[in-house]
């Protein structure tokens, strides 16, 4: 899966959680949860959805690496390679 399709998957899932926002306007270093107003429950739902969709295991101690678009992309790419 290339970078573009990972990004599209992320946007799709974010759109489902926060339909009134356009995730493509997110800045790479912006905190996703703050920008899209996502609470703890929806944040967990997002992690569940992304790990199911991309078939990666995201342990709880790695949640910090999923905070911004840039860090999340890097984390997922590295996870999917290994």
Partner 1 sequence: MISFKMPSLGADMEDGTLVEWRKQPGDLLKRGDIIADVDTQKGLIEIEFFGEGILEKHLVAEGEKIPVGTVMALIRGESDEITEEIPQENIPDQEKMVEPAKVEEGKIKVPVASPQKAGGERVRISPLAKKIAEAHQLDISKISGTGPDGAIVKADIDKCLREGQEKKAKAKTDPIVTEPRYEPESKLAIPESEAIRKAVAAAMSRSNQDIPHYYLEKRIDFSKAMLWLKEANKERSVQQRLLPVALMIKAVAKALDDVPDLNAVWEDGLERKNEINIGFVVSLRTGGIMLPAILNADTLSVDGIMERLNDLIPRARAFKLRSSELSKSTFTITSIGEGGADKVYGVIYPPQVGIVGFGEIRDEAIVAEGMIGIKPVVDVTLAADHRATDGLIGSKFLASLNKYLQNPENL
Compute the least distance from the CB of residue 48 to partner 1, in Å: 5
Q: Residue 74 and residue 40: Cα distance in Å, rounded?
A: 22
Select from 33, 41, 40 the least CA-distant residue to 68: 33
Please name every residue paired with 68 in a beta bridge, in sequence order, or none if there are none: 31
In the complex with partner 1, the residue whose CB is nearer, 2 or 59, is 59
Q: Residue 78 and residue 22: Cα distance in Å, rounded?
A: 26
Compute the least distance from the CB of residue 73 to partner 1, in Å: 19
Compute the least distance from the CB of residue 76 to partner 1, in Å: 14
Residues engaged in binding partner 1 (CB under 8 A): 18-20, 33-34, 37, 39-41, 43-45, 47-48, 51-52, 57-61
């Amino acid at each position: 899966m290339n970078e573009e399709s990972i990004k599209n998957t992320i946007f799709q899932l974010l759109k489902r959680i926060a339909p009134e926002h356009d995730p493509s306007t997110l800045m790479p270093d912006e905190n996703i949860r703050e920008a899209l107003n996502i609470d703890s429950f929806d944040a967990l739902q997002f992690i569940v959805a992304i790990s199911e969709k991309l078939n990666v295991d995201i342990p709880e101690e790695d949640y910090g690496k999923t905070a911004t678009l840039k860090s999340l992309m890097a984390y997922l790419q590295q996870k999917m390679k290994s």
